[in-house]
């Protein structure tokens, strides 16, 4: 039952936002009593934290699987972007922004765990790109890794990037292209433009 509640809450929070969905809404959708939910989760904050960490683990596992496919580093970044968008339902409700606004402590914990995960992934991706001649060999790995993380975090700010004006998909794709163009060699740019061309067909 614990897993079923997390799965349903995840689906509803991503569709309607952390703030909008109540424990009553989740209970009603599952056809169970609110009391049953409280047998597994002390309060809404407890459930939001469980959902957030469940999503983090799901996405982390997916990223590990993509990295194991041995794609070239630019293809890898685009595959990860597509996987994250799919799992966050294109973030139409800006869940990360809502998390930061209404559950700041959970958001802080999530950011810390994401930085640990993404820091390693991005630096490994950059190293691989340099080895394959796709990324410039004069880039500062630690600094670019932090730039990338800071950018990926900032584009989730719904006040800066209003999802009504800019879709999450458009923002993420534009940011990713911006990142890759900034660090690529001519060979890397050619790979990037081929990916963009294929995605637009």
Give the DSSP letter string of the chain. Answer: -HHHHHHHHHHHHHHH-TTT--HHHHHHHHTS-HHHHHHH-SSHHHHHHHHHHHHHHHHHHHHHHHHTTT--HHHHHHHHHHHHHHHTGGGTT-HHHHHHHH-HHHHHHHHHHHHHHHHHHHHHHHHHHHHTTSB-TTS-HHHHHHHHHHHHHHTT-TTTS-TTTS-HHHHHHHHHHHHHHHHB-HHHHHHHHHHHHHHT-
**What pLDDT was estimated at residue 90?**
54
Q: Which CATH class is domain 2-199?
A: mainly alpha
**What pLDDT was estimated at residue 96?**
78
**What pLDDT was estimated at residue 85?**
85
The one-digit pLDDT tens for each residue of the chain (201 residues) are: 899 999 999 999 988 889 889 999 999 999 999 999 999 999 999 999 999 999 999 999 999 999 999 899 999 999 999 998 888 775 555 777 788 889 999 999 998 998 888 888 999 999 999 999 999 999 999 999 999 999 998 988 888 988 889 988 899 999 999 999 999 999 999 999 999 999 887
**What pLDDT was estimated at residue 71?**
95
């Amino acid at each position: 039952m614990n897993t079923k509640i997390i799965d349903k809450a995840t689906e509803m929070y991503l569709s309607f936002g952390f703030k909008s969905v109540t424990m009553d809404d989740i209970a009603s959708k599952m056809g169970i009593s609110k009391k049953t939910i409280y047998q597994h989760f002390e309060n809404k904050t407890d459930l939001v934290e469980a959902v957030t960490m469940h999503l983090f683990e799901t996405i982390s596992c997916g990223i590990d699987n993509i990295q194991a496919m041995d794609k070239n580093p630019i293809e890898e970044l685009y595959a990860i972007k597509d996987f994250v968008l799919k799992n966050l339902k294109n973030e139409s409700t800006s869940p990360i922004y809502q998390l930061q606004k209404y559950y700041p402590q959970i958001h802080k914990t999530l950011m810390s765990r994401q930085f640990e995960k993404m820091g390693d992934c991005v630096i490994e991706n950059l190293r691989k790109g340099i080895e394959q001649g796709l990324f410039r060999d004069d880039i500062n790995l630690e600094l670019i890794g932090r730039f990338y993380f800071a950018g990926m975090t900032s584009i989730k700010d719904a006040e800066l990037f209003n999802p009504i004006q800019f879709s999450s998909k458009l923002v993420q794709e534009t940011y990713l292209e911006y990142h890759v163009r900034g660090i690529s060699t001519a060979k890397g740019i050619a790979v990037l433009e081929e990916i963009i061309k294929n995605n637009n067909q």
